[in-house]
């Protein structure tokens, strides 16, 4: 069996967004033909006159994106996803294929779409199939809109909703597509949801899927963008779109978030991850002895801005601070805990008295007075600010009981992940690698 080459031709101005769409969908890799600056590309290795005339005659205002599908992959499903995603993004394109027969894209993909269990509670079920399950069933007919649940970006969002929806929430889904995320939230117990999409086909499809699931009275779907359609405050906001769109809407999201709200964003390819993370601030409040060092190294490495607040005499390790200096104004060390909390996207803390420091306990508690992560300090952070603590926690010392309880889900996730990392380190060390 041969590989399938799917060739998308788009305007040069749409190349970046189209490449992001293709990267999200393709599993076998992509290749870009871009001749807009061919002369500049070869200037360093040869005189322009030596370029083959065939290359000079290539169109300069369009880009060709090749998507390669391995043998056995479904070109029909891929073509349907391409069509849905490109139309949702407002990208005009033409498509050619090699090695596959042309099929009915709109309907042919149905044979590849089967029920899927996602998370602990959800099951995505095509409207034309029967599925016996005790899970919450989301009946779906994607049509031409993106969002079948099969792509990793969608399934990750669904898993996040499965974890976060407790009942009664107001939800906003930006770039709603088939409406899958908004409808899933409603089926899981959310009180109401609004979906916004620039594609009228998506809006119609989302409305039809809401009716299939008996939640049409709780879902409002609007044609437009975030700026002119969303209003008020929401408990959960989702956006399963490309990185460029997430970066553009991110500054407008916080004002739409109720206290304790969550913003779930997906669709970010590896190459754009640093750009997205670069807009985030991490703050640490407490003892610089232990966890603060990891926060500095890890968060700076992925592009975040980091502010560490410690009492005098409890600074992070000297070699870590030397490393942090290389990041310039991306790093701040302060004695003011409010400075670390202000506008933070995530706040870290740790115990004041670690194991082996019991003799210093009383002195440490005096020195750390005013460094508690409490409600007043959380109010300085962004509305959707996460809290991280490696556990065990000393309630009323480094973290107030109400803050610990409000952020228990994400704190326990961190503590669990820490155990897995520690096990991995031990495994490597014991193996002598």
- Domain coordinates in residue numbering, the chain: 4-101, 115-272, 278-423
CATH for 278-423 is: 3.40.50.1370
- Strands 170-174 and 192-197 come out as parallel
Domains 4-101 and 278-423 share a fold: no
Provide the sign of the torsion angle of the four alpha carbons 352, 356, 362, 363, taken in this order: negative
CB-side neighbour CA atoms (13 Å) of 237:
26
Cα 249–Cα 250–Cα 251 angle in degrees, nearest 5: 95
Q: Which residues pair with 126 in a beta bridge?
A: 140
Rounded Cα gap, residues 228 and 381, in angstroms: 26
If you search the block for the tokens 């669709």, which residue do you land on? 267
Q: What is the pLDDT of residue 269?
A: 57
Q: Extract the tokens encoding 119.
A: 């998370």
CB-side neighbour CA atoms (13 Å) of 180:
29
Q: Extract the tokens encoding 286.
A: 């407490």
Q: Extract the tokens encoding 173.
A: 């889904």
Which positions ≥6 away from 40 have C-beta within 8 Å? none
Q: What is the pLDDT of residue 273?
A: 61
Residue among 86, 77, 246 nearest 157 (CA): 246
Edge-to-edge strand ranges of the sheet holding 116-118: 116-118, 122-126, 136-140
Distances (CA, A) of 322 to 296, 297, 325, 349: 11, 11, 5, 22
Assessment of whether the complete model's pTM goes beyond 0.75 = no
Cβ atoms of 349 and 389 closer than 8 Å? yes
The Cβ of residue 302 has, within 10 Å, a number of other Cβ atoms equal to 13
Rounded to the nearest 10°, the torsion over CA 213, 184, 194, 152 is -130
Q: Where are the beta strands (DSSP E) in 241-385?
A: 257-266, 281-285, 305-309, 331-334, 346-348
Rounded to the nearest 10°, the torsion over CA 402, 406, 409, 412 is -20
CATH topology of domain 115-272: Rossmann fold (3.40.50)
* Tens digit of pLDDT at every position of the chain (433 positions): 466 778 889 988 888 788 777 776 765 556 777 776 655 554 433 334 444 555 566 677 888 888 877 666 667 777 877 888 888 888 898 988 876 444 444 454 555 567 888 889 999 888 778 888 999 998 876 554 445 555 677 888 899 999 989 999 999 998 887 788 999 999 999 999 999 887 776 777 788 889 989 999 999 988 876 656 677 899 999 988 776 667 677 777 888 888 888 888 887 655 556 666 667 899 999 999 888 999 999 999 888 999 999 998 999 999 999 999 999 999 999 999 999 999 999 999 999 988 788 888 899 999 999 999 999 999 999 888 899 998 889 999 999 999 999 998 888 888 888 788 888 888 888 887 6
Question: What Rg value do the Cα atoms of the chain yield, rounded?
Answer: 25
Rounded Cα gap, residues 44 and 46, in angstroms: 6
Q: What is the pLDDT of residue 308?
A: 96
Rounded Cα gap, residues 296 and 318, in angstroms: 12
If you search the block for the tokens 């792509």, which residue do you land on? 151
Q: Extract the tokens encoding 277.
A: 């993370």
Rounded Cα gap, residues 391 and 224, in angstroms: 44
Phi-psi label, residue 120: left if phi above 0, alpha if psi -120 to 50, beta otherwise: alpha
Q: What is the pLDDT of residue 53?
A: 57
CATH for 4-101 is: 3.30.70.2520
- SS3 of residue 229 by DSSP: helix
């Amino acid at each position: 069996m041969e590989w399938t080459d799917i060739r998308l031709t788009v305007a040069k101005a749409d190349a970046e967004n189209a490449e992001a769409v293709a990267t999200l969908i393709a599993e076998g890799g992509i290749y870009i033909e871009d001749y807009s600056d061919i002369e500049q590309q070869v200037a360093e290795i040869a005189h322009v006159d030596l370029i083959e005339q065939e290359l000079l005659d290539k169109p300069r205002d369009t880009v060709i994106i090749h998507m390669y599908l391995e043998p056995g992959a479904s070109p029909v499903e891929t073509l349907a996803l391409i069509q849905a995603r490109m139309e949702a993004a407002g990208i005009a394109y033409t498509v050619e294929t090699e090695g596959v027969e042309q099929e009915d894209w709109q309907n042919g993909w149905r044979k590849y779409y089967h029920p899927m269990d996602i998370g602990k509670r959800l099951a995505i079920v095509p409207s034309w199939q029967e599925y016996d399950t005790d899970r919450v069933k989301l009946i779906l007919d994607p049509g031409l809109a993106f969002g079948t649940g099969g792509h990793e970006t969608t399934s990750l969002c669904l898993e996040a909703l499965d974890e976060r929806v407790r009942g009664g929430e107001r939800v906003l889904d930006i770039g709603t597509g088939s409406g899958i995320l908004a409808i899933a939230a409603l089926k899981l117990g959310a009180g109401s949801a609004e979906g916004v999409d620039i594609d009228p086909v998506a809006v119609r499809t989302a409305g039809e899927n809401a009716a299939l699931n008996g939640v049409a009275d709780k879902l409002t779907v609007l044609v437009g963008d975030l700026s002119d359609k969303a209003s008020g405050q929401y408990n959960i906001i989702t956006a399963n779109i490309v990185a460029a769109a997430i970066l553009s809407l991110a500054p407008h999201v916080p004002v739409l978030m109720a206290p304790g709200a969550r913003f779930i964003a997906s669709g970010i390819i590896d190459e754009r991850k640093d750009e997205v993370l670069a807009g985030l601030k991490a703050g640490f409040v407490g003892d610089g002895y232990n966890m603060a060092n990891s926060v500095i190294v890890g968060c700076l490495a992925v592009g975040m801005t980091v502010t560490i607040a410690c009492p005098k005499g409890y600074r992070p390790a000297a070699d870590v601070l030397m490393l942090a200096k290389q990041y310039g104004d991306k790093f701040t060390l302060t004695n003011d805990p409010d400075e670390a909390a202000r506008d933070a996207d995530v706040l870290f803390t740790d115990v004041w008295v670690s194991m082996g420091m019991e003799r210093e306990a009383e002195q440490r508690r005096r020195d750390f007075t005013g460094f508690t992560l409490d409600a007043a300090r959380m109010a300085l952070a962004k509305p959707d600010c996460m809290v991280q603590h490696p556990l065990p926690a000393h309630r009323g010392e480094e973290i107030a009981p109400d803050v610990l309880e409000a952020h228990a889900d994400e704190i326990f996730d961190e503590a669990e992940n820490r155990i897995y990392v520690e096990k991995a380190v031990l495994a490597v060390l014991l193996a002598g690698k």
